């Protein structure tokens, strides 16, 4: 839903580089948090990279309206990303939904932000 539009704007090479960087930053963030908390468990998935992709979508299309399944409230893409980022932070800090790598999602967002800042300077 989000990746196709971003790839059309950036092209496949830049899109792939961004996606892989977000996946790497998500994995690193999750490893750091698990090492600090001592809660080691396997983490598999690409959700951190998808959170970075959400950020890229919001930056490329800031006036697009997104309607999530829950809550079904229409909101602009940047607001959508902020709501989900705050939700992930709250769920990660409180330990709610055990087994979900909330800090990997935040790492994907952070990596996406850093990558976009780097590209803006070029």
pLDDT in tens, 14-43: 999 999 999 999 999 999 998 998 887 778
> Is the CB of residue 53 less than 8 Å from the CB of residue 77?
no
Q: What string of pLDDT tens digits covers the 122 residues of the chain?
A: 899 999 999 999 999 999 999 999 999 999 999 899 888 777 888 999 999 999 999 999 999 999 999 889 999 999 999 999 999 999 999 988 878 899 999 999 999 999 999 987 66
Each domain of the chain, given as residue ranges in start order, spans 3-120
The per-residue pLDDT for 110 is 97
Where are the strands (E) in 6-105, listed by range? 65-66, 75-76
Q: List the structure tokens of 14.
A: 């830049």
Residues near 110 by beta carbon (within 8 Å), at least 6 away in sequence? 25, 29
> Is the CB of residue 47 less than 8 Å from the CB of residue 108?
yes
Report how far residue 12's alpha carbon sits from residue 29's, in angstroms, rounded to the nearest whole number: 26
């Amino acid at each position: 839903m989000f990746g196709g539009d971003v790839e059309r704007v950036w092209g496949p090479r830049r899109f792939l580089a961004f996606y892989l960087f977000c996946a790497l930053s998500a994995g690193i963030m999750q490893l750091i948090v698990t090492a600090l908390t001592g809660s080691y468990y396997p983490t598999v998935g690409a959700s951190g990279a998808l959170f970075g992709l959400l950020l890229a979508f919001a930056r490329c299309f800031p006036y697009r309206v997104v309607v999530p399944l829950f809550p079904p409230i229409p909101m602009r893409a940047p607001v959508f990303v902020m709501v989900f980022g705050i939700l992930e932070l709250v769920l990660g800090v409180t330990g709610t939904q055990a087994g979900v790598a909330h800090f990997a999602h935040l790492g994907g967002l952070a990596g996406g932000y850093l990558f976009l800042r780097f590209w803006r300077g070029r």
